Structure 1
Amino acid sequence: MTAAGDRHAWSRPEPEPVAPGVLRVPLPLPFDALRAVNVYVLSGPDGLTLVDGGWTLTTAREVLDAALAGSGAAVGDITRFLVTHMHRDHYTQAVALSRETGAEVALGAGERDSLELMATRPTPMGAQLAGLRVAGAAALADEVAGTIPPPSDEEMADYALPDRWLADGERIAVADRTLTALETPGHTRGHLVFEAEGTAGADAASERLLFAGDHVLPHITPSIGFEPDARPGALQRFLTSLARLRERPDRRLLPAHGPVAPSVHARIDELLDHHDARLTEIERRVVAGDATAAEVAAAMTWTRRESKLDDLEGFHRVLAVLETDAHLEVLAAQGRVVREQGDDGTARHTVGA
């Protein structure tokens, strides 16, 4: 179990039973500030179903092998992967293991455009670099553009299309549970969460689970619209998806990054409050005269350390500027600011009449 006083105890490579027949396995992300990704192993008489697959890394495979062996199983017992979204730390190892074992890989239908775009070998982070220029951060775009290596042939193989596309509301039987796939666009356009009901004979309320992927995370706010086929409106889609889950029965939160938490609703309320406060803060910055997302982001503080934008590492500056622009899109849609894109392609904002 994770230690109450250690924010990162959840990421240690120690499998944790979280419900009958459900094992949380944190797989390491050695090059990533997130530290680990939780893969959930659901066991049944017909084999293992994994929610998410991890990143194709030797260390991740070793941890998964050890965790399965500890429960008397092996990767050959995996029959299916239910993947929440197409990011590499969730999808790529599922595809790699599918080639090895024949296990089915299922993914939300909304991820098709991004995966098909990946197959064309687009400019790495091309959509995000274009977004930075719209946000008035051309210099930052130029700075990071040359630092992103294109994926290798081996990496591209792990972005193959899934065996099955999942639709909103689709129900999947896993042992004596039923998982319902729900579209929750925002983090990516095709992101899914999986609602699970209790096992037969168990207390239904205590066994209601949500395999939340990156849609609801207990310690951080998910990045928005960071995908190959990024399109405007990601934050509004995310907020709408949060509201949709808030209207459904509460469940235990089984996130992709972070420890299991008792209430999805409680964390959604915190996320909605955070974004509402950010919208208000960003609107104030426009009133004060900051016109572009880059200018607004530079005037704000970031992370719980309240760091200035220039103090962040390059990739996190990219996320900060793009997140600011996403909030400005919402403010414009609400009529709280006016958004106009000039001849140079930069979006500038003023206060509405």
Structure 2
Amino acid sequence: MADSLGESAQAGPEVAVRDLGGGVRSVAVPIPDNPLGHTLVYVMDTDRGPVLVDTGWDDPGSWDVLAAGLEACGTGVGEVHGIVVTHHHPDHHGLSGRVREASGAWIAMHAADAAIVRRARETRPERWFTYMAAKLTAAGAPDEHVAPLREGPRRRSAPPGLAPALPDREILPGELLDLPGRRLRAVWTPGHTPGHVCLHLEEEHPSRLPGHGRLFSGDHLLPEITPHIGLYEDPDDATVTDPLGDYLDSLERVGRLAPAEVLPAHQHTFTDAPGRVRELLAHHEDRLAGLLSLLRQPLTPWQLAVRMEWNRPWDQIPYGSRNIAVSEAEAHLRRLVKQGRAEAVPGSEPVTYVAV
């Protein structure tokens, strides 16, 4: 299904490029100090030049790998015609601005994530630290965990992605993107972020695998891991959202597409998207059922996160990852409350939840 172009023969960064056939290649762009290792940036030929699906983390080493990878693909950064961003996270959108500066390429993103980009650029770092401290306090986090956030940027570096590039184009759900010579349709798949999109390449698979084209799945559908589903963060919006419900609905939408092959942003390409969707739906239902067992006693979101199963014991989870875990616990709580399977305990402070 794919041939490796190998490592770059010239001196420079180590580059992993794969030819996936049909005018599509992937470049593994590293994510510094992250167990995911890299983001798979896809390079797609069009009649007006290469278009990238995501760009990778904004880091000098990552930039060097992306530039060398494009050279290995027989093109260069300056030739890029456009960038389609699956979602706003910095390991996907981080280098978009730099690619645009070097090439004049346009950047396209769903409106919901474009709004997050604008808000991130307009909100001072101090506001984010205050917001995060208040949210964690309300979730029942202990004072020693919240204290560093109250100290703010005097002691801690600002969160990544606070100055991302503003997109030039809005991706509309269901639209056929304006890519001369290609048929790439946007599929809105909220959950991991409110504006996450998958991109359905409605062309026959180059190896004639059974199914309907190929799907650039971003972080929505991954072969071996489940994406983080946490709360949609917005310091100025108190809307009660249901990210996990959004994600589960979006999974079913993608499963019905039945693509011949999935091209995710992490790990590796794979087939049988409907089967993977079924696995993820079952995983989340099992997890919700497990949380109901924990909620036989009232728990705050922090207490629930401490008791949930993660990929390592709680005392080994780094500080920032604990914040992500609490957000994920809250997203699951919201799903259970919306389903009528759990409820907040009246008068509890910080708020606790219990199974119904």
TM-score w.r.t. length of structure 2 = 0.85
| 2:337 is aligned with 1:328 | no
Paired residue type of 2:318 = E
Question: Could you report, residue by residue, the CA deviation over 1:194-246 in whole angstroms, capped at 9, with x for unpaired residues?
Answer: 01122599737467111011111222211124654286311111111112212
Paired residue type of 1:137 = A
Check the 8 A contact 1:48/1:80 in 2, yes or no: yes
Query: How far apart are the structure 2 equivalents of 1:267 and 1:148?
Result: 39
| 2:242 is aligned with 1:233 | yes
SS of the residue aligned with 1:189? coil
Q: How does 1:1-353 map to 2 (within 5 A)?
A: 13-122=15-124, 123-124=127-128, 128-139=132-143, 140-143=145-148, 146=152, 148-150=156-158, 157=163, 159-199=164-204, 203=208, 205=210, 208-225=213-230, 228-229=233-234, 232-287=241-296, 289-303=297-311, 307-340=312-345, 342=347, 344=349, 346-352=350-356
Query: How far apart are the structure 2 equivalents of 1:282 and 1:176?
Result: 48
How far off its partner does 1:351 sit?
2.8
SS of the residue aligned with 1:222? coil
Q: More displaced, 184-193 or 333-342?
A: 333-342
RMSD value, Cα = 2.7
Check the 8 A contact 1:185/1:234 in 2, yes or no: yes
Gaps of 5+ in 1: 4-11
Aligned to 2:11: none
Paired residue type of 1:223 = H
Identity %: 31
Check the 8 A contact 1:239/1:272 in 2, yes or no: yes
Structure 1 runs, 4 residues or longer, greater than 6 Å off: none
Question: Could you report, residue by residue, the CA deviation over 1:167-199 in whole angstroms, capped at 9, with x for unpaired residues?
Answer: 111112435431111111111111111011225
Question: Cα distance 1:339–1:106, how it changes in 2: closer, same or farther (>3 A)?
Answer: same
Check the 8 A contact 1:124/1:149 in 2, yes or no: no
Check the 8 A contact 1:43/1:175 in 2, yes or no: no
How far off its partner does 1:15 sit?
0.2
Paired residue type of 2:299 = A
Paired residue type of 2:16 = E
Gaps of 5+ in 2: 5-13
TM-score w.r.t. length of structure 1 = 0.86
Question: Cα distance 1:151–1:319, how it changes in 2: closer, same or farther (>3 A)?
Answer: closer
Question: Could you report, residue by residue, the CA deviation over 1:223-281 in whole angstroms, capped at 9, with x for unpaired residues?
Answer: 12465428631111111111221222234111111111112222222211111111001
Greater fraction strand = 1
Q: More displaced, 173-182 or 270-279?
A: 173-182
Check the 8 A contact 1:133/1:141 in 2, yes or no: yes
